Amino acid sequence: MIKAGALVFALAISLLVAMISGSLILLSWSSTMYLEMSLKTKRLIRNTESGLTLLLSEQQLVPADSSMVLDLFGDGTDSVLLLRHSWGAFEIISSKAFSHGDTLGKTAVCGYGLDADTTTALITADLDQPLSLCGKTILKGDVKISKVGFKRAYVEGKNFEGSQFVQGNTLSSSRYIPPLNPELTKSLLQGFSTEIFNKDSLVFTDISEIPDSLANSFQHKTICYQSTGTLLLGHQQLSGNIRIIAGREIIVEKECVLKDILLYAPRIRIKEGFKGNLQAFATDTLIMEKNVTLDYPSVVAVIRIPRSPDMISLIIGEGSSVSGAVIAYEEKYHAMKQVNIRIEKKVSVFGIVYSSGDLDLKAEVSGLVCCNKFVLRTNSGVYDHHLLDAVIDRSKLPSYFLCPDLFEDTPEKKIMKWL
Phi, psi of 235, rounded to the nearest 5 degrees: -125, 10
Q: Which among 93, 111, 129 is the end of a domain?
A: 111
- Band (202; pLDDT cuts 50, 70, 90): low
Task: List the beta bridge partners of residue 278.
Answer: 261
In the listed set 111, 136, 170, which residue is the last one of a domain according to the structure?
A: 111
pLDDT higher at 301 or 76: 301
Domains contained in the chain, number: 2
- Whether 219 is in a domain gets the answer yes
Measured distance CA(336)–CA(373) in Å, rounded: 15
What was the pLDDT predicted at 291? 96
Q: Do 84 and 232 sit in the same domain of this protein? A: no
Q: Give pLDDT tens digits for 111-162.
A: 887 765 578 999 999 999 999 999 999 999 999 999 999 999 888 888 988 8
| Residue 280 belongs to a domain | yes
Q: Is the pLDDT confidence value at 80 over 80?
A: yes
Pair 105, 128 in one domain: no
Predicted local confidence at residue 54, as pLDDT: 84
**Cis check: omega of the bond before 297, within 30 degrees of 0:** yes
Kindly compute the dihedral angle of the four CA atoms of residues 132, 138, 142, 143, in this order, to the nearest 10 degrees. -20
DSSP three-state, residue 72: coil
pLDDT of the residue at 317: 95
Q: Are the C-beta atoms of 231 and 247 separated by less than 8 Å? A: no
211 in the same domain as 312: yes
pLDDT band at 278 (very low <50, low <70, confident <90, very high): very high
pLDDT at 361: 96
At residue 74, the pLDDT reads: 67
The answer on pLDDT for 165 being more than 80 is yes
What number of other Cβ atoms are within 10 A of residue 351's Cβ? 24
- Residue 157 shares a structural domain with residue 106: no
Q: Is residue 415 part of a domain?
A: no
- Of the pLDDT bands very low, low, confident and very high (cuts 50, 70, 90), residue 24 is confident
pLDDT of residue 306: 87
Q: Which of 202-211, 248-257, 380-389 has the lowest mean pLDDT?
A: 202-211
Q: Is residue 414 one of the residues assigned to a domain?
A: no
- Determine the structural domain holding residue 326 and report its residue range: 120-409
Is residue 345's pLDDT more than 90? yes
Whether 416 maps to a domain, the answer reads: no
61 and 192 fall within a common domain: no
Task: Indicate if the pLDDT at residue 183 is higher than 60.
Answer: yes
Reply yes or no on whether the pLDDT at 197 is more than 60.
Answer: no
CA 407 to chain centre: 15
Give Cα separations from 411 to 113, 117, 153, 325, 400 (angstroms).
Answer: 6, 10, 38, 17, 11
Range scoring the smallest mean pLDDT among 76-80, 237-241, 279-283, 414-418:
76-80
CA nearest to 46, candidates 108, 106, 109, 110 = 106
Mean pLDDT of 178-182: 88
Highest average pLDDT, of 55-59, 205-209, 378-382, comes from 378-382
Mean pLDDT score of the chain: 86
- In this predicted structure, what is the pLDDT of residue 322? 97
pLDDT band at 4 (very low <50, low <70, confident <90, very high): low
Regarding whether 92 and 137 lie in a shared domain, the answer is: no
**How many alpha carbons fall within 13 Å on the CB side of residue 97?**
21
Q: What is the pLDDT of residue 248?
A: 93
- The amino acid at residue 48 is T
Residues 92 and 140 in one domain: no
Residues 194 and 229 in one domain: yes
When pLDDT is averaged across residues 195-204 and rounded to a whole number, the result is 60
Q: Answer yes or no: do 350 and 294 share one domain.
A: yes
Quickly state the pLDDT bin for 205 (edges 50, 70, 90).
low
Res. 200: pLDDT tops 70: no
